[in-house]
Amino acid sequence: LAVIRFDVTVRAAVVACYLTVLLLITVVDLATRRIPNVVVLPAAAAALILAALGIYPGLRRSLVGGAIALGIFLLAYALGGLFLRVIGGRAASSGPALGAGDVKLALFIGLSTGYPTIIPALFFGTLSGAIVALGWIVIRLVQRRYRPFAAMAYGPYLAAGAAIALLWGEQLITR
């Protein structure tokens, strides 16, 4: 997809690597509900190094995108944990609504997409996650098997939003 979108360029190679990381994270998160540090932290470091070398999206855009994503997801992580403790009580024993791996994934996505492309990345990732979660809730309610605060893997939806942004984010922003 990256080569089709960007021809045979350095940017296509970098985007292809980022898409590969996102696919790996998706598969692992769906199977284990964990985003491994051994994947996401080196990927974030590589995105920062490549940006510092002047490769898309560039250092300034990368740092701003990373800061926005990290700030939003750290806040969501803290508020989600507080909400589950105050409102959820014992029902929240399956773990936090948003895990630390999701926060680190958001940082990688911000560093790799940069600003302003992080905006559609987070929008589409959050929207797709919300749609699937609402669908899951409806299905479980119909089946009479709904459990409040049940955990779901959120990384795949963030990864999908990032993939959309990496491939078409600039077009989405300029329209």
Global pTM exceeds 0.95:
no
Residue 92 has pLDDT above 60, yes or no: no
CA-wise closest residue to 105 among 90, 121, 92: 121
Mean pLDDT of 125-130: 95
Its domain, for residue 47, covers: 2-174
| CA 120 to centroid of chain Cα atoms | 11
Mean pLDDT of 138-158: 86
Is residue 69 a contact partner of residue 103, using CB atoms and an 8 Å limit? no
Is residue 51 a contact partner of residue 57, using CB atoms and an 8 Å limit? yes
CA-wise closest residue to 173 among 130, 105, 121, 106: 121
Number of domains, the chain: 1
Taking only the tens place, the pLDDT of each residue in 68-84 is: 999 999 999 888 776 66
CB atoms within 10 A of CB 103: 20
